Amino acid sequence: MATFGCPHILGVAIGNLPRVETWVQSVLICLAMAKPKTRLPLRLFNVAGRVGRRFGIGTGSFVECGDEILEQAARAAGCDDFGDPAFLEGYRVLLEAYDREARLSPFGAMSARAQLGAILRNRLRAQQAWSGDPSILERPIERPIFILGLPRAGTTAMHHLLGADPQNQVLEYWLAAVPKPRPPRSQWSTDPSFIQAETDLSRMYWLDPGLKAIHLMTADGPEECRHLLQQTLADDTFDCNATIPSYSEWYASCDMQPVYEQHKRLLQLIGSNDPDRCWLLKYPVHMGNLRTVLSVYPDARFVQTHRDPTKVIPSICSLVAGWRALSQENFDPHELGTWQLDLWSRRLLAGIEVRRDYDDGRFFDLHFRDVQSDPIGAVRRMYDHFGLEMSDEGERLMSAWRADNPPGKYGSHKYTAADYGLTETRMNDAFDSYLDHFKIERECV
């Protein structure tokens, strides 16, 4: 039997000095690429992954693994019925973009594969639930309320505040991440999906503690609709995490009808044990898809928050930069700034055009200063506009949430417009029509 002690290792090393030198060079290069602001375990993981890549380890193509990812998801879910195959178009575009354009770190590549697997498993399990009880899809979703507006414009605060009112039902993070019928509140803490959601969020905020000051998420708190749109592989999540312009181009022009039809089916599933409460939903992305939203939810109502974009766009860029820093080797912040400026100006203008065709009574506009100065008063005006009653219990719970979550509770969010190649003049020019249409109050940059 061979003995692999120090003499053997030394002999192998001496006999392979050129290879040892190559390994050492690779390690030094990869260490130099490590981002100093990233947590040490993540840096070490990426260093090891980069060394492996230089020697052909862990370099599998996303396209080559595409069918395998689908098959693994089917085995894990115990079925292979993915429902409407429309999602496969976005899936293939995304895989190709990851291979050709993304500069994913080893951690980013691993995370992307894991994310795709989870999305596909969720899609399969939702299809199982509908097949097992088709009556779920017959349950109406009446007059849902969608919170619109630019990110960083008070939408999250309004979402959490309104979500504290028991007459509303929200898309809780843990159920968005793994959609299924919402169980009684007393059972959440022992549900494996809830426990996993808490673990995932803790890990994310540990990897980048600054993210909590930018965007608060809790397992039992309200979450954006992004998880539901991800099931059709058409969502901002993917190109926020990586530079994949071919996917962004496809996503900007794809048919969103099947995406929102899946969105509705998932809400019917999650709320199937609680069909009578009003759905309260929030996602800035909906603003660019209003016509499709209204085709799927014809009696929907909308609350749109407004804020000076010169304060908002650099903050959005900082948030996206935070996501990319976790997944991508490097990115051009000025390119990111140009992309986000164009994206959100187009979405706002698209929303204005759609609103011209509908009764103003289904929309309620709310300026950021009102959300900050008198949030309960703002909610009361919104309820009056939509003919809703504010109960004493609802007001008490919303006031309690506000008192426990003052602005800046999780620290300040530091960024500058210049970091992303943006100037006040450039941003004002991009949003000139929006600023004039809604009479937006300018803030100091």
Is it the case that residue 30 has pLDDT exceeding 70?
no
Task: Note the pLDDT of residue 56.
Answer: 67
* Cβ contact 169:163 at 8 Å: no
Distance of CA 64 to CAs 92, 95, 96, 293, Å?
11, 9, 10, 35
What global pTM score does this model have? 0.87
Rounded Cα gap, residues 428 and 297, in angstroms: 33
Is it the case that residue 402 has pLDDT exceeding 50?
yes
Rounded Cα gap, residues 247 and 70, in angstroms: 19
Q: What are phi and psi of 335, to 5 degrees?
A: -65, -40
Range with lowest mean pLDDT among 40-44, 151-155, 379-383:
40-44
Condensed to tens digits (0 to 9), the pLDDT of residues 327-386 reads 898 899 999 999 999 999 999 999 999 999 998 899 999 999 998 899 999 999 999 999
Is it the case that residue 15 has pLDDT exceeding 60?
no
* Pairing verdict, β 301-306 and 278-282: unpaired
DSSP class of residue 417 equals G
Torsion-angle region of 154 (φ positive above 0: left; ψ -120 to 50: alpha; else: beta): left
Condensed to tens digits (0 to 9), the pLDDT of residues 101-135 reads 999 988 889 899 999 999 999 999 999 999 999 99
Task: Note the pLDDT of residue 40.
Answer: 63
Query: In terms of Cα–Cα distance, which of 222, 337, 270, 256 is closest to 125?
Result: 270
Structure tokens at 128: 């199982």
Task: Starting at the earlier edge strand, list the strands of the sheet with 145-148.
Answer: 168-170, 278-282, 145-148, 301-306, 363-367
Domains of the chain: 18-55 (no CATH), 67-438 (3.40.50.300)
* Cβ contact 164:397 at 8 Å: yes
* Cβ contact 219:201 at 8 Å: yes
- Bridge partners (DSSP) of residue 302 are 146, 363
Distance of CA 41 to CAs 48, 78, 209, 242, 279, Å?
11, 34, 15, 21, 40
Task: Note the pLDDT of residue 55.
Answer: 60
Task: Note the pLDDT of residue 36.
Answer: 42
Condensed to tens digits (0 to 9), the pLDDT of residues 43-97 reads 676 667 766 666 666 657 999 999 999 999 999 999 999 999 999 999 999 999 9
Task: Note the pLDDT of residue 350.
Answer: 95
Task: Note the pLDDT of residue 409.
Answer: 75
| Average pLDDT score over the chain | 87
HSE-up of residue 362 (Cα within 13 Å, Cβ side): 17
Rounded Cα gap, residues 375 and 164, in angstroms: 13
Rounded Cα gap, residues 98 and 90, in angstroms: 12
Condensed to tens digits (0 to 9), the pLDDT of residues 240-269 reads 999 999 999 999 999 999 999 999 999 999
Give the chain's length.
Answer: 445
Task: Note the pLDDT of residue 331.
Answer: 92
Rounded Cα gap, residues 226 and 151, in angstroms: 13
Task: Note the pLDDT of residue 26.
Answer: 36
For residues 419 and 212, which has the higher predicted lDDT (pLDDT)? Answer: 419
Task: Note the pLDDT of residue 148.
Answer: 97
Rounded Cα gap, residues 365 and 438, in angstroms: 9
Confidence of residue 187 (pLDDT cuts 50, 70, 90): very high
Is it the case that residue 239 has pLDDT exceeding 70?
yes
Task: Note the pLDDT of residue 266.
Answer: 98
